[in-house]
Amino acid sequence: MLRQLPLALALGLSSAVLYAAALSGSPIGIFLAYLAVLPLFAVGLSMGLAPLAVAAASAAVGIAAFGGLMPGLLYGLSHALPAVVLVVLALRSVTWSDGQVYWYPPGRLVQALALWGVGVVVLLGLGLSLFGAGFESSVVAFIEAMADAFQSQGQPILNADAAAGVAVLLPGIVAWSWMVMVTLNGLAAQGVLRRSGRALRPSPRLAEVVVGPAWVAGFGVCAIAGVAIPGDLGFGAVNLAIILAFPLFFQGLSVVHTLLAHWRIGTLGVGLFYVLMVLLSWTALAVVALGLAEPLVRLRARLAGPQNT
């Protein structure tokens, strides 16, 4: 631990510097801030929990010292604590009587990440409902304030109806953006560590992502409640459903990869599929639908065969 301490501190401070880069407001600064959680995963997935705690704490303290208490708290909530929780789970393993080591499954890792997003949105909604103007009203007011700021710079302004329409999905969309950021950084760190021989666990496989019926039921309850219940409760339920769809998206991707492998479509075809999904965003909804249906249809089990993911 003592020999790892200098590197853990250095990587923690590098995470703080990357996070602070967003304050510049430049595209490069925002991109660098997107990578702020990467050093934390690099520490945790190669050195373990204790060095990760040192790195995360040093980064949070550094941000709070130079940027203020609120930025430090936001960093802890959005970067440090989620990284610690995910690394703790990722490094859990069980050795069965046959000597086979089973690591914490990737589907549950994605679910844990989504549950963190759910918790943040629930706390935010409760806070704004109890001590503010209400969850939905506060989000609409935020969007209108942002629109006014753009208007002052000569950009077109949103009208009230457009602001309300954007507000309906905004918390869920922001949560998805954050979950994608954390996921990509975690996968990048694990990939580099695996290639260098420093990873503490094997890399998870997309084919192993399993989201069970209970999660699907929770998604369905939130989706129905969002449509049926008016006011802040319905607004919150819609956005919780959006967040709960994140693990279903990865299960849907697993189904897609199984289909492509069954049809003997190689790496080029897989790459073209991802390009298509970026260009046509509605395809992501189709992938979520596949993940939603998988516990009932069990398409992967029916098409079980050689897989390249």
Residue 230 gets the label, from left (phi > 0), alpha (psi -120 to 50) or beta, of beta
And the tokens for 228? 């049926």
Mean pLDDT estimate for the chain: 90
Helix (H) or strand (E) run with residue 134 in it: none
| Integer Cα distance of 169 and 177 in angstroms | 12
Handedness of CA 81, 249, 199, 91 (dihedral sign): positive
Residue 309: is its pLDDT beyond 60?
no
Residue 265: is its pLDDT beyond 50?
yes
Segment 20-30 mean pLDDT? 82
| Integer Cα distance of 251 and 75 in angstroms | 29
Segment 232-240 mean pLDDT? 95
Confidence of residue 307 (pLDDT cuts 50, 70, 90): very low
| Integer Cα distance of 240 and 283 in angstroms | 21
Side-chain-facing half-sphere of 55: CA atoms under 13 Å: 34
Which residue shows structure tokens 């249906």?
293
Q: Which of 105, 120, 106 is nearest to 178 (CA)?
A: 120
Confidence of residue 280 (pLDDT cuts 50, 70, 90): confident
φ/ψ (deg, to 5) at 102: -115, 120
Q: According to the model, what pLDDT value does residue 93 have?
A: 94
Confidence of residue 2 (pLDDT cuts 50, 70, 90): confident
Q: According to the model, what pLDDT value does residue 23 have?
A: 75
Q: State pLDDT tens for residues 95-132.
A: 988 888 999 999 999 999 999 999 999 999 999 998 88
Beta bridge partners of 103: 93
Q: According to the model, what pLDDT value does residue 165 have?
A: 75
